[in-house]
Amino acid sequence: MPTTCIRNADCIIAWDAANRRHAYLMGGDLAFAGDSIVYVGPHFAGAAETTIDGRGLMVMPGLIDIHSHPSTEPFFRGVREEHGVPEMFMTGLYERSVAFRPDLAARRCGKEVAYCEMLLTGITTVADLSGNDEGWMDTALRSGLRVFLAPGYASSVWTMTNGWQLQFRWDEAAGKRGMGAALALVDEARAHPSGRLGGIVCPAQIDTCTPELLRDSFDAAAERDLPITVHCAQSVNEFNEMVNRHGKTPIRFAHDLGILAPRTILGHAIFLDEHSWLHWHTRDDLGLLAGSGTSVAHCPSPFARYGQTLEDFGRYGRAGVNLGLGTDVAPHNLIEEMRLAAILARVSAEDITTTSTAALFHAATVGGAAALGRADLGRLAAGMKADLVLVDLANPWMMPARDPLRSLVYTAADRAVRDVYVHGEQVVGGGRVRTLDHAAALAGVVEGQQRMLRDAPSRDWGGRSAEQIVPLSLPPWT
């Protein structure tokens, strides 16, 4: 296999295996052949068919996004940023999910837009929690990303007949059929010869699935040696619903059902029993997560827009919970999520030392890899997959790059991402996606959003227009 060597990189974020942490290697080389890294160190003495001048560059591992909804989130630009329902504890999740639904043609474009955003921001691996749409696997393959398909299914769907009460329309047979179809797609993805596709078992939400479906899903994941992910402890509404049904917090319910384990990824896990919004009488949930080895997919942006936050990221880590990051919102920018997660943790803890840039970067790489069961991702070391990002240190937003990772996270973000490689193949060059037609996909999303907004009155409980549900930020000129 031909070898590519990045020589004399100003900075490589290399994996220090002895201390199990990332470390700066200044003025080093990185070589990869095929889909794997063969060397990281001061000087590569081997032959290389292709040489990349690393001067002025930082080389870092590709970012790992363990919770994303590419088929829907691009359509909520201009819709979800300030859409909250005070009567539902500020969240706009449920009303938006009922009233605004992009159609199949639009969702295909949404996936492409989201995949482009991910690539441009240095994401090389994503857990895609989309619906099981026709052509999904083909889109994932064309993107060049490393995609873990997580087709969601459930025993019920959310519905509303007023503006303050969440209701459930149950169809247990549909949940079982959805699980069967999801497992078939996951099995097909895992068998694909590209080596870039994986699968995750994904019962959608802890409150929309029966205990039987959740347990069967966990058993199916164990049989296939796959991760399982479920939204859990994501809202006050959900917390109260699970207490009313079972007399237990969502985390305690999941624990007692036997679905918390090292293969389990909980989407969000914000509203634990100790959260200040709940005033609950126990303080057990964090210990249950840590003791079971369960991972948490932390997605700060959507909840911060509702005035909510996980309390706090640093505390979860110190308790022993494996943390990863996700982009549960547009833009799909994990660097910005790192920045916001750090800031919110310090605000909620009232302590600047509660977490660090290193801890957030660990979550966005090694933590995500651990959640997915992939020790060959998220690290730059020999034997790891050649998923890497080249950052332009001469970008004005990076300068001065005394501490290049801090400059990237707190200032430059995606503006400094120059090139991205996945599985040894270049998918972004000079800040442009090489695998998908970003402009065409965006045009499809614009048209799809127009259809979605037009159809909102037929879906909304009160027959309201999109403008009534989510007014524009400024009034029209009169």
The whole-model pTM stands at 0.97
Please write the tens of the pLDDT for every residue from 52-63. Answer: 999 999 999 999
What confidence score (pLDDT) does residue 181 get? 98
Section 245-268 average pLDDT? 98
* Cα–Cα dist 231/299, whole Å: 12
Q: Is the pLDDT of residue 147 over 90?
A: yes
Task: Give me the CATH topology for the region 3-61+381-433.
Answer: Urease, subunit C; domain 1 (2.30.40)
Q: Is the pLDDT of residue 415 over 90?
A: yes
Please write the tens of the pLDDT for every residue from 335-393. Answer: 999 999 999 999 999 999 999 999 999 999 999 999 999 999 999 999 999 999 999 99
What confidence score (pLDDT) does residue 478 get? 87
Section 410-437 average pLDDT? 98
Confidence of residue 288 (pLDDT cuts 50, 70, 90): very high
Please write the tens of the pLDDT for every residue from 105-117. Answer: 999 999 999 999 9
∠ Cα 367 297 166 (to 5°): 175
Whole-Å CA distances, 440 to 103, 106, 443: 17, 12, 5
Amino acid, single-letter form, for residue 420: V
Q: Taking Cα atoms as reference points, which of 236, 202, 207 lies closest to residue 217? A: 202
CA dihedral (114, 116, 121, 122) positive or negative: positive
Give, for 85, the enclosing helix (H) or strand (E).
Answer: none
| Percentage above 90 pLDDT, the chain | 99
SS3 327: strand
* Cα–Cα dist 75/65, whole Å: 19
Q: Is the pLDDT of residue 219 over 90?
A: yes
What confidence score (pLDDT) does residue 180 get? 98
Give, for 240, the enclosing helix (H) or strand (E).
Answer: helix 236-246
Amino acid, single-letter form, for residue 135: G
Section 39-47 average pLDDT? 96
What confidence score (pLDDT) does residue 404 get? 98
SS3 447: helix
Q: Is the pLDDT of residue 1 over 90?
A: no
Q: Which two tokens stand for residue 76?
A: 């909520």
What confidence score (pLDDT) does residue 109 get? 97
| Percentage above 70 pLDDT, the chain | 100
Averaged confidence pLDDT in the chain: 97
- CATH for the 63-372 domain, from 3.30.420.40, 3.40.50.300, 3.40.50.2300, 3.20.20.140: 3.20.20.140
What confidence score (pLDDT) does residue 93 get? 92
Please write the tens of the pLDDT for every residue from 62-77. Answer: 999 999 999 999 999 9
**Domain ranges across the chain:** 3-61+381-433, 63-372
* Cα–Cα dist 7/27, whole Å: 8
What are the helix (H) ranges across 350-400? Answer: 357-362, 368-372
Query: Residues 6 or more apart from 167 whose CB is under 8 A from it?
Result: 158, 159, 160, 161
CA dihedral (457, 460, 464, 465) positive or negative: negative
What confidence score (pLDDT) does residue 95 get? 93
Residue 33 and residue 4 in contact, taking contact as beta carbons nearer than 8 Å: yes
